[in-house]
Structures are given as C-alpha cells and as structure tokens.
Amino acid sequence: MIRLAGEAAFGRGVAYYHEGMVVGWHQSGTTITADVEGGERYRVVLELSAQGLDGSCDCPASQGIDFCKHCVAVALSYRTNEAEQARLTEGDATDRIHAYLQQMDKSSLIEALQSLIEHDPILRQQWSLRADAVLGVLDIKTLKKRITAAFPVNRDLYRYEQVNAYFARAEAVVEQLAEQAPQLPADQCLTLVDYALSRMARALETVDDSGGFRFHCEHILHDLHVRTVRRLDWSPGQLAAYLYDKAFGGSEDSYPPIPDAYAEALGEAGMAAYHACLQRAWDDLPALPKESGWMVKYRYIRLRAPLLKLAEADGDLPAMLALYEKTASDEKDCLDAAKACIAHEAWDQLETWLARAKRATSQQNPHQQVERQRLEVRLYLQRGEGEAAAALLWDIYQHTRQLEDYRRLVTLADDRQLATDYRRCAHDWLVEGLDEESQRPFGWGPRMVDSLLEVYLFEGRLDEARALCAERAVMPALLHQLAQATKELDESLPLYLRLVRHEVQKTNNQAYRDGIALLQELDGRLDSASQRETFQDALIQLRTEFKPKRNFIKWLKEAFPEP
C-alpha cells in the first residue's frame, strides 16, 4: 500500500481508518466497494487479484486512477475483516456462524431473518414492535393495546412450561416499552407503566408463577417506573400524593418499595410531603380496637412503620410513643414502646407501658408474656431491687428453661450477693422434673434433661453431665458439646461413638457423612499410639456393626483406609 499510495497518502489513509471514516463496506467476489467520509463522501473500488491489490476512488486526488488515502483506509478495513474472519473460523460454533453471517449479502440475511421471525411468535412480537417504532407508527394507543395483549387475564395457568411461555411473550412488549420510554413524554410513559403493572397484577390472579418467571418483566417495569418518576416535572406535593396513592391504594405489591425506591425523585421536600400524607392518614384513624383482625391491623402497621422510622432517626421519643398510643391495645406494640423507653432511658414512662402490656396480655402469646417479664427485670434493676429482679428471673427460667435466662439469674445472684442459692434451686427443680414432664414449655423450650445438661456444661460439671448422659437420652448437639469438652479419650470416645451411631441410624447419605465428620474430629484429637490403637478398634467395631450400610462403609474406608 505504501508503494501504491506513497508514504504521505498512506499515513493519511491510516488516520482515516482509525477514525472510523470507512462506511458501507461490501465485498462481492474479488471486488470491494466502500464509502469514505472526509470533507465529502467518496466511493472506493478495490480489486483483488493474484498479482496483488489495485484500486481507485472518485476523489480529486485519485481521479479514478490513482491509489489514494481513501483506498488505503478501505484496504486496511478489508485486512481487519479478513483477520477477524480467520479468528472466527478457528473458533467455536458461535464464532463460525458469525463468520458465515458476515459473508452473506444483505438480501440473503434479510430472507433468513424473515424466515426465523415468521416461525417464532416471540421474535415476531419483538421485531414487529421494533419495526413500528422505527417506522413511526408506534403511538401511545398502540403501545397500550400491545400491553393488553401481552398480559391476557383469566388464563388459569399453573404448569411451569405454560407460565414460562406466557411471560416470555410478555417480555418482548415490556422490553420494547423500556426502549421507547425515553422518547415518550414522562406523564404518558408513567400512564403506560402503571397500566402494565396493573395488567400484570391482574394476570397473576389466575397465573401460578411460583417459578418466578415474571421476575424479568417485573424488574424492567419497576426500574422503568422509578426512572419515569424522576423525569416528571411535578411539584413535591403532587408527586408525594401520587406515590401515597400507589402505596395505600391497594396496588402496593405491584411497585418498588415506596418511598425508599423514589428517594432521589422525591428529594427532601417531596419526602417531607410524603410523610405529611402519612401523618394525615394516621391522624384520621381511630384507636385500634382490641380484637381487630389482621387486615385492620395491617393498615395501621403500614402507615405507622415509615413514621416510626422517621421518629427513630430523629431520636424523637414523644413522637414514637404517640404513634404507639393509637395501637396500645396490642401487647406487642406496648412492649415495643417499652423497649423504646429503655433505649432512651425514659424509666419513668417504662412502668406505664409495661402495665398496659400486661392488661393487653393474650394467653395465645406466652412468648410476649416472658418478653414483658424480661423488661420488668430491667426496671427492677434500674430501681436497685435486686431480689425482686432475681425472683422474676427465676420465674422466667421456670417457664422457658433457656440457658441464657439461667445465666442471667446466677450472674445477678452472684453480683448482688443474694441470699437465695438459685444454682441449687434450679438443679433441684430440674432433677425433680426429669420424670414428670409431659411436654416442652410453650412447645419450644428444651426438655428438662436437656436443660439440666446445659446447666452442667455451663457450670463445668462434666462428671455429672456424663453420668446424666449415661442414664438418659439427650439432645445430640449437647452430647457433642460434652464430647468436645471431655479431654480423656476413654471418656470422650463412647460419647463420639454414640453420636456416630445416632447419625448412621438415620439411614441417609448426609447423616453418613456427618457421622464420618465426627470420627475425623475425634481422630484430630489423638496424640498417642495407644489412643490411635483404641480408635482403630472402634473403627473395626463400626465396620462390623454397620456392614449393611454400604455407602457409609465405602466413605468410612475412604476417610480411614484399613491398615
């Protein structure tokens, strides 16, 4: 090319090539034609032959004969294309298809693409929308009709393949709406997005999308709604009123979290206006009736939550308590108000809220009763009434049997040097109840034997713990803690083997692996030849005992190869 064009023209041609001046590049046989932008657009024709490269241009410098800078730019584009073709030809199937498509002429490509589109409803939908947009026939009414058709209602679809196909068709319209949105006026675009979200919500009433096929459409529409709201030139009050209507007008599940997702659009003034809408609605509500159903409570909770969040951010305890005042017939709300009092060290108001919580106590929620008693303990301690606090903690422990409650009790007794020996009280009570219990407290607390074992472990009374485990069945997790705490192999080995047998007897592969992990844990603690010999004897015993458990035996041999 330097020989054909000369060094000066070659250099200018290289610059044209790098600046992307070559447009409309096309090859037919050995002839390459292209246009090159410059001061004007010039047509270049290159000819490939066995002797090399020749070319001409209709620019004044070439006069249809000489190899000019425009010819150089086109020749470099051809060389780049050839190198890309060679790379794609040596690549995978996708690369080779790409190489093939690049060699096809425009009419062949159109024919092939048209055939694909005609035989695929989803592609037809996508390309129809793109064509309408480019040709200028895609208006608001047309888009709305497309959205209606994209989300047909009352379809009663529940099979995965049906629902997948349903939302795959809808995605084409949703994606096109997102593509066209920047060209649409913001208020018209908002109307379309609201409509699309409402149509999808209606469709989901009879479409079982437990597989989550709607998520792509939902994500696009949510993102588009937030971006469209940012484009609106509405006043802060108008925007706040619109978002309040979406949040509390019955369609809140169709939108991103309000107002958090729209904080940028609202700004400080809009957020204040939104909270003012919430406050007005809250002030218009009567006090929550004591026996209100969930649907009534739900509206109170949703209105109150952002107002509470704002009050908490401002550290405004009076505002927080005023919000709880309206729902004070609910025990949980009274307890939350009591916690707020403690957090702000408003001890003088704490007693009032605890009393209200006690009056609202429901026998259906014993957990909340215990939670209230724990807060009462805090109040006793604040007043310096250690004996009363310990007595209430002892009552709590008898209800929950939770180790944390026992720990608080004995720590309090030790710190305040109380006369009552609560360690002895707890031990005697647990021992007496070993054979008497019929069920766990509240349906969730530990059994008496497990509570007693927890106490032994907490107090470091390992001999008593091992004696208890030798006599009674205990929770495997606690038995494992005891095995880990026991240092002597002749004492810990039986505990580990008991745990391993418990796992293997579950007869599933995960339990087999868990049992082997326990053996590996024990193996890591061995530090003498005699201990390893004892461990090998135990492995032989397990191989014999569980010989029918083929997977367990196979993995056991992999973890501990036989000598």
Residues 55-88: tens digit of each pLDDT: 889 888 877 778 889 999 999 999 998 898 899 9
Taking residue 98's Cβ as centre, other Cβ atoms within 10 Å add up to 16
Contacts of 255 (CB under 8 A, 6+ apart): 197, 222, 225, 246, 247, 261
C-alpha to C-alpha distance for 105 and 16, rounded to whole angstroms: 25
C-alpha 33/C-alpha 44 separation (Å) is 6
Token representation of residue 71: 């010819």
Q: Which region among 131-145, 148-162, 241-255, 496-510 has the lowest average model confidence (pLDDT)?
A: 131-145
User: Do the domain assignments include residue 382?
Assistant: no
138, part of any domain: no
Give a yes or no: residue 515 inside a domain: yes
pLDDT > 90: percent of the chain: 68
pLDDT at position 431 over 80: yes
End position of a domain, from candidates 59, 79, 103: 103
Compute how many other C-beta atoms are within 10 angstroms of the C-beta atom of residue 439. Answer: 8
Could you tell me the pTM of the whole model?
0.65
Least confident of 238-247, 362-371, 496-505, 534-543: 362-371
What domain range includes position 17? 2-103
**473 domain residue, yes or no:** no
Model confidence at 135, pLDDT cuts 50, 70, 90, reads low
CB of 555 within 8 A of CB of 516? yes
Last residue of a domain, which of 103, 132, 149?
103
Whether the per-residue pLDDT at 123 is higher than 80: the answer is no
Does residue 158 belong to any structural domain of this protein?
Answer: no
pLDDT band for position 444 (50/70/90)?
Answer: low
Query: In this prediction, what percent of the chain has a pLDDT beyond 70?
Result: 96
Tell me the Cα Rg of the chain: 39
Where does a domain end: 64, 86, 103?
103
d(CA 326, CA 316): 17
Q: Which of 457, 460, 443, 459 is nearest to 400 (CA)?
A: 443
Output the DSSP codes for 481-533.
Answer: HHHHH---HHHHHHHHHHHHHHHHTT-SHHHHHHHHHHHHHHHTT--SHHHHH
Residue 57 lies in a domain: yes
Q: In this structure, what are the phi and psi dihedrals at residue 138, rounded to the nearest 5 degrees?
A: -100, 95
State the pLDDT at residue 493. Answer: 94
Which residue type sits at 524? G
* pLDDT of 115 higher than 80: yes
In a domain, 366, yes or no: no
The size of the chain, in residues, is 563
> Percentages helix, strand, coil for the chain, rounded to the nearest 5?
70, 5, 25
The helix/strand/coil state of 33 is strand
The pLDDT tens digits of the residues spanning 18-35 come to: 998 998 788 888 899 999
Residue 11 lies in a domain: yes
Query: Omega before 494 cis (within 30°)?
Result: no
Q: What is the DSSP letter of 254?
A: G
Measured between its terminal Cα atoms, the distance across the chain in Å is: 77
Map tokens 């929620």 to a residue.
Answer: 365
- Distance between CA atoms of 76 and 14, rounded to whole angstroms? 8
Report how many domains make up the chain. Answer: 2
- Which pLDDT belongs to residue 218? 96
